[in-house]
Structure 1
Amino acid sequence: MQVTVNGTPTDFPSPTPTVATLLDQLGMTGKPVVVELNQRALFPRELASTPVAEGDVLELVQITAGG
């Protein structure tokens, strides 16, 4: 399955049923991440129940702290 992540077409093994699964495959599980799916911001509680489909567009921003 191909989705666009931060402007880059990216292939994932099918099926990738949810946004949470996709984040796990990207190694972002447990990290503070802001997710937008098809121009709609998602709440963290929605990640495990929001499906990902072929052609979806995701914008991911990882929050980091530093000084």
Structure 2
Amino acid sequence: MTTITITITLNGEARQAPGGSTLADLLETSGQPPASFASAVNGEFVARDARAQTLLVEGDAVFTFQAITGG
């Protein structure tokens, strides 16, 4: 059985991920605690509680960033 991989970018760097990966799966492998940053896929903000339901596809551009709070 052949495992399908997809190519996405994480913060501008090309990465391979297994087909069927979610945003949560990808962020767990980033080396940073997933709760410490916000995320976006193709320029659209993805809430932390939606990451596990956000399926990644070939060519997606994922960005992580520190959330800015204050007033």
TM-score by length of 1: 0.75
2:12 is equivalent to residue 4 of structure 1: no
CA drift of 1:2 comes to 0.8
**5+ residue gaps in structure 1?**
none
* Shift in alpha-carbon separation, 1:35–1:43, aligned structure 2, 3 A: same
Shift of 1:10: 1.6
Which of the pair has more CA radius of gyration?
2
Q: Mapping of 1:4-43 within 5 angstroms?
A: 4-12=9-17, 14-43=18-47
Structure number with higher helix proportion: 2
Kindly state the Cα deviation for residue 26 of structure 1 after the two structures are TM-superposed: 1.8
Q: Which residue of 1 aligns with 2:54?
A: 50
% identity of equivalent residues: 24
2:8 aligns to what SS in structure 1? strand
Secondary structure of the structure 1 residue equivalent to 2:40 = strand
> Which segments of 5 or more consecutive residues in structure 2 lack a partner in the other structure?
1-5
Q: Considering only aligned residues, what root-mean-square deviation do their CA atoms show, in Å?
A: 1.8
Whole-Å separation in 1 of the counterparts to 2:33 and 2:8: 18
Aligned residues: 62
SS in 1 for 2:21: coil
TM-score, structure 2 as length reference? 0.72
